[in-house]
């Protein structure tokens, strides 16, 4: 029987969309549930922490010491309060935990803050300092992370998600298994990593389809081919991250074989560099065409992917571009849509369900869209806390909400972005049956899985916003240059 081990775990996850000017605050973290100490066990079976806890069960000698679970829907840069509060919760929690024999830390990897580009590296550094340099530390990241030197230096080993849409539980499970390899089996990880001066829009991000699948599948194949490989992670960084050190990355860990790690890291960097123009192919269509095609579709639900306003990429969820075009075209739908309006409470006043209202909504978060006037009958008013069926967490708080039946469809308006209509549960929760609708504006460019059983097709729409596919017209300031395709770049090594 192996000796008992005390294993710590913490999650602090935020993905920043730095072109969304509205800062992310602790209120946004509280909307998805902030858990400290033993409260983290409430996430058994849910998300990355749930995956780690499942793996931990295989190690009877482990005592799990949970420190923190804090996550948000993606958004603008986190404010100083978030940087400091979460940093303190991590440091103080570890200090109070006593001696630990290993630690799994689940971060996003694309969290930028006000005045600090690499917040994840900062939090990792605090965790490492609290643990001491000898305690094995495995880092789990989203594969849209911007991997930095500070992250590489701060952990013994790291693992990124293996699929898009993400299987976050899988990453937690693998992180636990890798920690076990170090703590129980004495493997000695060495690291090789490559930074690739590349940025692409999100339209080819699905990891089960070429060209992206070619990169991920090659990583898996190399893991199978070489016994010494502990983990290979490839990182197609999300493209709305205007930070220093930005770019794609490959990270290879082997058990003591540096030359092999170097060779495989080079191979995977070469491969994705060769695929770079295929990764830049756009298949989104214009807003007027998308609305017209949804109108003429034989059956619904036609999912209209609002690529420029992807709440899961950090946008504000406040774009009105598709809705405005539906109104202009007299879309007969009906359609389902969500819009974020921070002033909803004041604008609604005392209006009640059943009343006719005229409500100005949208444009107040990302500051890249015009507000529009919704005219119709209120069918719901009240707090909107939506169960997530295990997607990331247990529930997400949209703040005050309402639903308005308009000429083009039913629009859910909320104070906060929540998941912006990515989950049918947003509608079902307030008594709306999505299957009765012809189209749904879904504020994601990749996470269509929740509508898969309900939808007839997905139309990717080339909409403007902080997560738009047109990377060339975004106001870059901090991105390292040259970077492809914004600049001409000879090779990834240059």
**Using CB under 5 A as the criterion, which residues of the chain lie in contact with Zn ion when the complex forms?**
142, 144
The least distance separating Zn ion from the CB of residue 392, rounded to whole angstroms, comes to 11
Q: What is the DSSP letter of 285?
A: B
**Alpha carbon distance 309, 313 (integer Å):** 8
Which residue's Cβ lies closest to Zn ion?
144
**By C-beta, is 59 or 144 nearer to Zn ion?**
144
Length of the chain (residues): 494
* Continuous segment of H or E residues that includes residue 327: helix 321-329
Nearer to Zn ion, 202 or 320 (CB): 202
Give 143 or 400: the residue with its C-beta nearer to Zn ion: 143
Nearer to Zn ion, 16 or 192 (CB): 16
Q: Which helix (H) or strand (E) holds 294?
A: helix 287-296
Q: How far is the CB of 485 from Zn ion (least distance, A)?
A: 21
273 or 392: CB nearest Zn ion:
392
Closest separation in Å from C-beta 165 to Zn ion: 9
User: CB of 9: closest distance to Zn ion in angstroms?
Assistant: 20
**Cis peptide upstream of residue 211 (ω within 30 degrees of 0):** yes
Q: Name the minimum Å distance from CB 110 to Zn ion.
A: 8
Q: Which two tokens stand for residue 140?
A: 């789990």
Neighbours of 474 (CB within 10 A): 17
> Is 118 or 156 the residue whose CB approaches Zn ion more closely?
118
**Nearer Cβ to Zn ion (399/466):** 466
- Within 10 angstroms of residue 211's Cβ, the number of other Cβ atoms is 18
How far the first Cα of the chain sits from its last, in Å, is 52
Give the residue with the Cβ less far from Zn ion, 145 or 183.
145
Q: Work out how close the CB of 142 gets to Zn ion at its nearest, in angstroms, rounded to a whole number.
A: 4
User: How many Cα atoms are found within 13 Å in the side-chain-facing hemisphere of 79?
Assistant: 10
Q: Own/partner pairs for 209-215, CB < 8 Å, 24+ apart?
A: 210/278, 211/275, 211/278, 211/279, 212/164, 212/236, 212/279, 214/271, 214/275, 215/268, 215/271, 215/272, 215/275
Tell me the helices (H) and strands (E) count for the chain, helix number first.
12, 17
474: helix, strand or coil: coil
| Shortest Å, Cβ 388 to Zn ion | 16
Taking alpha carbons only, the member of 476, 483, 486, 467 closest to residue 15 is 467
Bridge partners, 357 (sequence order): 376
Name the residue nearer to Zn ion (CB basis): 144 or 173.
Answer: 144
Q: Quick check: 100 and 45 in contact, CB under 8 A?
A: no
Nearest-approach distance from CB 213 to Zn ion, in angstroms? 16
Q: Which residues pair with 383 in a beta bridge?
A: 400
Cβ of residue 108: shortest distance to Zn ion, in angstroms?
8
């Amino acid at each position: 029987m192996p000796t008992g081990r005390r294993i710590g775990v913490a999650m602090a996850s935020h993905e920043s969309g730095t072109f969304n000017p509205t800062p992310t605050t602790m209120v946004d973290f509280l909307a998805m549930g902030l858990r400290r100490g033993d409260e983290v066990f409430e996430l058994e079976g849910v998300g990355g922490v749930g995956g780690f806890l499942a793996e931990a069960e295989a190690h009877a000698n482990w005592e799990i010491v949970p420190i923190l679970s804090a996550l948000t829907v993606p958004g603008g840069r986190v404010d100083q309060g978030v940087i400091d509060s979460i940093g303190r919760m991590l440091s103080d929690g570890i200090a109070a935990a006593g001696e630990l024999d290993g630690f799994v830390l689940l971060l996003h990897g694309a969290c930028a803050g006000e005045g600090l580009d690499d917040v994840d590296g900062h939090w990792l550094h605090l965790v490492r300092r609290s643990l001491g340099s000898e305690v094995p530390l495995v880092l789990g990241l989203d594969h849209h992370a911007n991997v930095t030197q500070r992250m590489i230096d701060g952990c013994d080993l790291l693992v990124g998600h293996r699929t898009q849409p993400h299987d976050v539980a899988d990453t937690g499970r693998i992180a636990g298994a890798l920690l076990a390899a170090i703590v129980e089996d004495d493997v000695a990880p060495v690291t090789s990593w490559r930074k690739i001066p590349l940025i692409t829009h999100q339209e080819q991000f699905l990891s089960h389809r070429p060209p992206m699948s070619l990169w991920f599948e090659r990583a898996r194949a190399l893991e199978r081919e070489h016994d010494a490989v502990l983990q290979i992670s490839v990182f197609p960084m999300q493209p709305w991250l205007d930070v220093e050190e930005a770019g794609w990355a490959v990270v290879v860990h082997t058990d003591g074989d540096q030359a092999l790690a170097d060779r495989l890291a080079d191979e995977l960097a070469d491969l994705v560099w060769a695929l770079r123009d295929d990764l830049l192919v756009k298949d989104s269509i214009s807003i007027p065409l998308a609305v017209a095609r949804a109108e003429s579709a034989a059956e619904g639900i036609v999912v209209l992917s609002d690529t420029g306003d992807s709440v899961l990429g950090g946008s504000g969820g406040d774009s009105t571009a598709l809705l405005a075009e539906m109104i202009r075209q007299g879309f007969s739908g009906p359609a389902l849509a969500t819009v974020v309006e921070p002033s909803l409470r004041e604008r609604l006043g005392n209006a009640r369900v059943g009343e006719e209202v005229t409500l100005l909504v949208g444009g107040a978060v990302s500051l890249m869209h015009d507000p529009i006037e919704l005219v119709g009958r209120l069918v719901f008013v009240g707090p909107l806390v939506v169960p997530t069926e295990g997607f990331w967490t247990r529930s997400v708080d949209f703040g005050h909400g309402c639903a308005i039946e308009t000429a083009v469809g039913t629009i859910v308006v909320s104070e906060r972005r929540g998941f912006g209509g990515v989950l049918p549960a947003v509608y079902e929760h307030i008594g709306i049956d999505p299957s009765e609708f012809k189209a749904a504006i879904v504020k994601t460019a990749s996470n269509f899985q929740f509508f898969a059983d309900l939808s007839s097709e997905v139309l990717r729409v080339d909409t403007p916003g902080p997560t738009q596919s047109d990377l060339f017209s975004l106001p870059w300031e901090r991105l390292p240059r040259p970077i492809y395709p914004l600049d001409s770049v000879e090779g990834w090594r240059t």
